[in-house]
Amino acid sequence: MGKIFAFYGPSASGKSEIQRELTVFGYPKIITATTRPPRSHEEDGVHYLFMTTEQFEHALAEHSFIEWTSYNGNYYGTLKASIEEALRQDGKAHIVLDLAGVLALKQLYADTVAVYIGANISTITRRLKLRGGAADETESRIQKAEQHELSIEYTQHADVIVWNHDGVDFNDTMLRVRNIIAGNQTD
């Protein structure tokens, strides 16, 4: 039976970059579903399972999701079938979720390891501003990190915490993450 490593943490902490690197190293990525339109570089079944609102709502009615949320007018969710397929494999798969998704996954599947990816607020602020985007959205994400996602109440659900802020070499971060996955080390 496989094991799932569920990454969560503030925006701009490096979760997506870590996920990309893990995929390069051959760890399977669990693809989540969304109703938002694909961005120019995104492919269905690679970045997300892109669904229409009607398809998503039908899957909701069929109880096909482990967890789901609505954000900025779009649905996002994790299909039970995607998780069960990953667990049937003998490997170690990874997924990026919010805390509610991680908790739902852990409640249903004991073979889930919650990995909090954090960064200090100055790093988060710098990375979010570098990304660009609407100033109010950037400020909202910074406030969410500062007030909630960097708190002990948020991080306490992690089986392991990895800090990925400025001053930490990303190669060292990836080595730590790969070591955690390889041996399920939680220190």
pLDDT tens-place values along the chain, 187 residues long:
789 999 999 999 999 999 999 999 889 999 999 999 998 888 999 889 999 999 999 999 999 999 999 987 899 999 999 998 888 887 799 999 999 999 999 999 988 999 999 999 999 999 999 988 888 888 999 999 999 999 999 999 999 999 999 999 999 999 999 999 988 555 5
* Separation between Cα atoms, residue 179 and residue 185, nearest integer Å: 7
Q: Which pLDDT does position 94 carry in this prediction?
A: 95
Q: What is the pLDDT of residue 184?
A: 52
Q: Which 8-state DSSP code applies to residue 142?
A: H
Angle between helices 135-144 and 121-131 (to 10 degrees): 160
Tokens of 177: 């993450």
Q: How far is CA 108 from CA 28, 34, 168, 180, in A?
A: 20, 21, 34, 22
Concatenated DSSP letters of 115-175: EEEE--HHHHHHHHHHH---HHHHHHHHHHIIIIITSHHHHTT-SEEEE--TTS-HHHHHH
Classify domain 29-88 at the CATH topology level.
Guanylate Kinase phosphate binding domain (3.30.63)
Query: What pLDDT is recorded for position 11?
Result: 92
- Residue spans per domain, the chain: 1-13+20-27+92-187, 29-88
Give the residues across from 62 on adjacent strands: none
Fold of 1-13+20-27+92-187: Rossmann fold (3.40.50)
List residues bridging with 74 in a β-sheet: 71
Structure tokens belonging to residue 118:
């954090």
User: What's the pTM value of the predicted model, to 2 decimals?
Assistant: 0.89
Residue 54 host element (H or E): helix 53-61
Q: Which pLDDT value is given to residue 2?
A: 81
Number of residues that make up the chain: 187
